[in-house]
Structure 1
Amino acid sequence: MTKLSKINYLMASASAIFLLGACGSSSSDNTSTQPPVAHEVDYQEFIEDGVAQGIPGIIMSIEGPEVDFIGSAGLASIEQQTPMQIDHVMPNGSAGKKATALLVAMLHDDGLLNMDETIDTWLPDEILDRIENSRSMTLRQLLNHTAGVYDYLDSATQAAWYSAIMSDPSSLKTDTYALQFALDQPAYFTPGNDFHYSNTGYLLAGLILDEVLGEHHYTEMRNRVIVPLGLNSTYYNGLEKHMGSIISGYVKIDGELENAKVVYENIGVSDAPLVSSVTDMSLLLKSIVDEDSVISRDVRELITDPQSMVQATTTLQYGLGIFKEISNGKTVYHHGGDEPGYKTETFYILDDDITFTVFFNCNGYDLCAEQSNIVVQKVFQTLL
């Protein structure tokens, strides 16, 4: 989203849906009409409706003081007709950026790196020489998207990336592989002068982590983040694929529904590192921003303090791997993830202590985009 915050967009769209359905009220209605009580809502019906409208499968978790729902609907595999289960896992795309940022913050807090040093502190000339302004951008700027570094998933290079991974699905793709699609490309601006979401920044952060740790950072991701937080169904995609099996994910190519599973189980990049369950993704997000967390206060503040939090749009802020906005007077943290075939949405409503995560095993075509948004919209009508 560039002109509207994500939640405001969803809520605005939701108003039309609910008016057509003769229930609820417009999100622009500022009267005292009370929203439905969350625990009285049939959330299972929401996801079953989504499947009935053409989404292959959905898993959803909502947890708070007055609501405790987890459910699934549809199929984890169309080919095998495997029912979707609540504990199934899938790649979470950019929703995993918060884990990369968290690991950096932990190493910063331990004095193993300084995120305010420029990236030439760690990276070699063969990379630096091919990235504009590389010697004047900091690690913190990579993580909050103020470095101006070209995004390898920009429209100019996105097709080349997808073509490359689709044509060679079985080999492991890591940060170095993905970075080649961003080299020798122009910067968006000089570091620190604007905000532009860039997946490349997280690739570079991953390579810095490798340099600092002397090995691929997935090991410390497990030791410092995954295990201490109790993310028992989570693993680093590609590099730890022996630890589980992802569900199928569907995208339309030339009008035909294709399964992207074989491609995405072999991609392990720092801008989209995780395979996880809905409950684990909720726990990760909540742990980063909630005071009642095993993550130290100093580390949490590094992610969301004013030095890290920048203005992404007029209503939306971005810290280190996490968005923040105020919706209906409530503070909401979130970060979704989109890959061809897989869509993750995860939110934490701080004021109400409510987590909401939903997985769709489809993405990249109109029907999936429309129907997945409707499901999310319906839920937000009950929570906000």
Structure 2
Amino acid sequence: MTGRKMLQKTMIASVVCLGLAACGSSSNSTEPTLPSPQPAPNVDYQEMLEVAVNSGVPGVIMAIESPEINFTGAAGVADIDTQAPMQTYHQMPTGSSGKKATALLVAMLHEEGMLDMDDLISTWLPTTILSRIENSESMTLRQLLNHTTGVWDYLDDGSSDEWFEAIIDDPTSVKTDIFALQFALDQPAYFAPGEAFYYSNTGYLLAGLILDEVLGEHHHTAMRERLFIGLGMNNTYYNGLEKDKGSIISGYAEFDDEIENTKFIYENIGVADAPLVSTVEDMSLLLRAIVSENSPLDSAITEHLLASDRLVQVNSETQYGLGIFYQNINGKDVYHHGGGDPGYITENYYVADSDLTLTVFFNCSGYEDCQAPAANFMNSVLETIFEDN
């Protein structure tokens, strides 16, 4: 098997998340001044980061913030070849954890009357697309965002091979929603809209195209003005389309018994199901803005994403809003959404009872030397959160 085909297969296998449910800026030329770490009593988070690196993870960044904890730390390297050390301000593609940004932008426009989430998607999308999506005549924008349309996921078996082959064959051109959507067209539906939950990245591609239609331009401009600038996410940008705002760190996956850098592929993908390049602090800021009691956002907006009467059942333990999972763990309300791209893993949590955000970046995925220590690290950190805070 050729190296390119091996990388394609490895990329498919490495789209994973370590979290509790499936996942799936301004210029970086100046280094921000960060607060000194203040770990929780009797917990050495920096040592835990070092253990993860010593166990096989190339690099890891973590931020934990609550009334009792203020810790930001990093360990390992941002690039294996240059041995550049991982820094807390480094930016990384955050995969599906960025879905909350797409959903939030839609909710904002809904409240402004620019669109209605409960309208059928045929309100905005052309028949050239609708005619190639089963049940498109009866699915709404809200259902796209809460994964209840039954629309085929372009990253599922049966189409993911073609998607990964396409982006590997042409890594330098920017891939947007309409490019990714072609791999979901003419595929069967999982079920009729509203009948069940099935996590489908395609729903967010369609939502991105709807945003473009409503705004009259690509939605990354509105996302920057309303979210990144509006919320103070100064080190976040839309992947692929705002590369002048920063640069992603290297990410590593294994193929043909070799560790390879996937940065050259993922720096040019700009899709609404995984839109953000960000820092751990900015991702914590975004999640906190949506779910905390002290949110700067209007409650009418955030309720679309997480109000209890709008959550849909994923399984016996998990519910989903718009771009956010909800679980009650050890009696604590937990909101989260991770992200996994080949070479990158993001974990992003908010524990309401202790007003705590946790965000972790790993610059690897999909092979045992990364996956096992990353999972062990997350388990250890989550234990400190649920047992000690």
TM-score scaled by structure 1? Answer: 0.90
Q: What secondary structure does 1:231 align onto?
A: coil
The answer as to whether partners of 2:345 and 2:362 remain within 8 angstroms in 1 is yes
Equivalent in 138, 149, 173 of residue 171 of structure 1: 173
Answering whether residue 274 of structure 2 is matched by residue 266 of structure 1, we say no
Q: What's the offset of the Cα at 1:152?
A: 0.2
**Residues of 2 paired with 1:209 and 1:287: CA distance?**
21
**Residues of 1 paired with 2:216 and 2:41: CA distance?**
49
The answer as to whether partners of 1:39 and 1:68 remain within 8 angstroms in 2 is no
- Which structure 2 residues correspond to residues 10-159 of structure 1 after superposition, within 5 A? 38-159=40-161
Q: What's the offset of the Cα at 1:155?
A: 1.7
**Residues of 2 paired with 1:197 and 1:8: CA distance?**
11
Equivalent in 316, 333, 358 of residue 314 of structure 1: 316
Q: What does the per-residue CA deviation read over 1:103-161, in whole Å, with 9 as the maximum and x for residues that have no partner?
A: 00000000000000010000000100000001100000000000100000002211221
The answer as to whether partners of 2:19 and 2:338 remain within 8 angstroms in 1 is no
* Ranges in structure 1 where 5+ consecutive residues have no aligned partner: 10-36
**Residues of 1 paired with 2:294 and 2:206: CA distance?**
31
The answer as to whether partners of 2:21 and 2:325 remain within 8 angstroms in 1 is no
Equivalent in 333, 336, 341 of residue 331 of structure 1: 333
The answer as to whether partners of 1:39 and 1:66 remain within 8 angstroms in 2 is no
**Residues of 2 paired with 1:266 and 1:79: CA distance?**
21
Distance of aligned partners of 1:306 and 1:353 in 2 relative to their CA distance in 1, 3 Å threshold: closer
Question: Please, which moves more after superposition, 161-170 or 263-272?
Answer: 161-170
**Identity, % of aligned pairs?**
60
The answer as to whether partners of 2:239 and 2:275 remain within 8 angstroms in 1 is yes
Task: Give the match for residue 15 of structure 2.
Answer: none
Q: What secondary structure does 1:317 align onto?
A: strand
Answering whether residue 202 of structure 2 is matched by residue 200 of structure 1, we say yes
Residue type of the alignment partner of 1:204 = L
Q: What does the per-residue CA deviation read over 1:338-382, in whole Å, with 9 as the maximum and x for residues that have no partner?
A: 000000001000010010000000012222121111111000111
**Residues of 2 paired with 1:182 and 1:7: CA distance?**
27
**Residues of 1 paired with 2:123 and 2:255: CA distance?**
42
**Residues of 2 paired with 1:362 and 1:119: CA distance?**
36
Across the aligned residues of Structure 1 and Structure 2, the Cα RMSD in angstroms comes to: 1.4
Task: Give the match for residue 350 of structure 1.
Answer: 352
Q: What's the offset of the Cα at 1:307?
A: 4.8
Q: What does the per-residue CA deviation read over 1:71-130, in whole Å, with 9 as the maximum and x for residues that have no partner?
A: 000000011110000000000000000000000000000000000001000000010000
Task: Give the match for residue 244 of structure 2.
Answer: 242
Residue type of the alignment partner of 1:59 = I
Q: What secondary structure does 1:73 align onto?
A: strand
Task: Give the match for residue 20 of structure 1.
Answer: none
**Residues of 2 paired with 1:116 and 1:158: CA distance?**
29
**Residues of 2 paired with 1:282 and 1:201: CA distance?**
24
**Residues of 2 paired with 1:254 and 1:115: CA distance?**
45
Q: What's the offset of the Cα at 1:7?
A: 3.6
Runs of 4+ in 1 over 4 A off after TM superposition: none
The answer as to whether partners of 1:140 and 1:308 remain within 8 angstroms in 2 is no
Distance of aligned partners of 1:8 and 1:308 in 2 relative to their CA distance in 1, 3 Å threshold: closer
Equivalent in 160, 163, 168 of residue 162 of structure 2: 160
Q: What's the offset of the Cα at 1:49?
A: 0.5
**Residues of 2 paired with 1:290 and 1:192: CA distance?**
29
**Residues of 1 paired with 2:157 and 2:370: CA distance?**
21
**Residues of 1 paired with 2:99 and 2:237: CA distance?**
14
Equivalent in 288, 291, 294 of residue 293 of structure 2: 291
Q: What does the per-residue CA deviation read over 1:234-293, in whole Å, with 9 as the maximum and x for residues that have no partner?
A: 000000011101100001122211101111110000000000000000010011011212
Task: Give the match for residue 233 of structure 1.
Answer: 235
Residue type of the alignment partner of 1:267 = I
The answer as to whether partners of 2:262 and 2:343 remain within 8 angstroms in 1 is yes
Q: What's the offset of the Cα at 1:6?
A: 4.6
The answer as to whether partners of 1:92 and 1:276 remain within 8 angstroms in 2 is yes
Q: What secondary structure does 1:150 align onto?
A: coil
Residue type of the alignment partner of 2:325 = F
Q: What does the per-residue CA deviation read over 1:179-233, in whole Å, with 9 as the maximum and x for residues that have no partner?
A: 0110000000000000000000000000000000000000000111111110010
Q: What's the offset of the Cα at 1:40?
A: 2.3
Residue type of the alignment partner of 1:52 = N
Residue type of the alignment partner of 1:82 = A
Residue type of the alignment partner of 1:323 = F
The answer as to whether partners of 1:144 and 1:308 remain within 8 angstroms in 2 is no
**Residues of 1 paired with 2:56 and 2:323: CA distance?**
31
Q: What secondary structure does 1:170 align onto?
A: coil
Question: Please, which moves more after superposition, 289-298 or 236-245?
Answer: 289-298
Task: Give the match for residue 7 of structure 2.
Answer: none
Task: Give the match for residue 366 of structure 2.
Answer: 364
**Residues of 2 paired with 1:279 and 1:345: CA distance?**
12
Residue type of the alignment partner of 2:278 = S
Q: What secondary structure does 1:40 align onto?
A: coil
Task: Give the match for residue 32 of structure 2.
Answer: none
Task: Give the match for residue 257 of structure 2.
Answer: 255
**Residues of 1 paired with 2:225 and 2:137: CA distance?**
31
* Ranges in structure 2 where 5+ consecutive residues have no aligned partner: 1-17, 23-38
Residue type of the alignment partner of 1:112 = M
Q: What's the offset of the Cα at 1:39?
A: 3.2
